[in-house]
Amino acid sequence: MRRFIFLAPVLVFVGLVVYFATPLLRGTDPSIIPSPLIDKPVPAFDLPPLPGYQKGLSSADLKGRVQIVNIFASWCVPCRAEAPALMALKQMDIPIRGIDQKDRPEDALEYLKELGDPYVSIGMDIDRKVSIDWGAYGAPETFIVDAEGRIRYKQAAPITQDDIDDTILPLLKKLTAQ
Amino acid sequence: MRAALAVLFLALSLSGSAIAVEPDEMLKDPAQEARAEAIGRQLRCPVCKTESIEESDADFTKDLRKVVREQIAAGKTDSQVLDFMHDRYGDFILLRPPFNSTTWALWLAPPALLVLGGIFAFFMTRRRPTTVDAEPLTPAEQAAVEALK
Chain B interface includes A102 (CB < 8 A): yes
A136/chain B closest Cα distance in angstroms = 8
A44 has a chain B CB within 8 A of its CB: no
The CA distance from B73 to B77, in Å, is 10
Query: Number of C-alpha atoms within 13 angstroms, CB side, residue B135?
Result: 4
Cα–chain center distance at A8: 44
Q: At what angle do helices A77-91 and A105-115 cross, to 10 degrees?
A: 50
Nearest Cα to Cα of residue A164 among A84, A80, A85, A82: A85
| pLDDT above 90 for A14 | yes
Residue in chain B nearest A31 by alpha carbon: B49
Q: What is the mean pLDDT of residues A18-39?
A: 88
A147–chain B nearest CA distance, Å: 21
User: CA separation (Å) from B100 to A48, B49, B84, B112, B147?
Assistant: 40, 20, 19, 17, 77
Q: Which residues of chain B have pLDDT under 70?
A: 1, 8-18, 128-131
Task: Identify the structural domains of chain A with CATH numbers, from first to last.
Answer: 36-177 (3.40.30.10)
Residue B15: the pLDDT is 53
pLDDT for the residue numbered A23: 86
The ipTM (two decimal places) reads: 0.87
Domains and CATH numbers, chain B: 11-127 (1.10.8.640)
CB pairs under 8 A between A and B: 38
3-state secondary structure of A97: strand
Chain B residues with beta carbon closer than 8 angstroms to that of A101:
none
How confident is the model at residue B12, as a pLDDT? 62
- Pairing of the two strands A121-125 and A151-155: unpaired
Phi, psi dihedrals of residue A93, rounded to the nearest 5°:
60, 30
State what percent of residues in chain A have pLDDT above 70.
99
Burial class (CB in 10 A: 0-12, 13-18, 19+), A146: buried
Half-sphere exposure of B120 (CA within 13 A, CB side): 8
For testing contact with chain B, the best of A71, A137, A154 (most B CBs within 10 A): A137
pLDDT reported for residue A163:
95
CA proximity to A71, closest of A45, A40, A36, A92: A45
Mean pLDDT confidence for A143-150: 97
pLDDT score, position B72: 96
Strand order across the A96-101 sheet: A121-125, A96-101, A67-72, A141-145, A151-155
Q: Hey, is the C-beta of A135 within 8 angstroms of any chain B C-beta? A: yes
| pLDDT value of residue B27 | 92
Measured between beta carbons, the chain A residues lying within 8 angstroms of B91 are: 36
Q: Which residues of A touch B59 (CB under 8 A)?
A: 102
Check pLDDT > 90 for residue A123.
yes
Q: What is the pLDDT of residues B72-101, one digit of tens each?
A: 999 999 999 999 999 999 999 999 989 998
Query: Is B60 within 8 Å of A134 when comparing Cβ atoms?
Result: no
Q: What is the C-alpha to C-alpha distance for residues A120 and A55, in angstroms, rounded to an integer? A: 9
Residue A38's pLDDT is 95
Q: What is the dihedral of CA A116, A121, A124, A130, to 10 degrees?
A: -120
- Is A1's pLDDT higher than 70? no
Instruction: Give the pairing of strands A57-58 and A67-72.
Output: unpaired
What pLDDT score does B130 carry? 62
Q: Side chain identity at B120, as an amino acid letter?
A: F
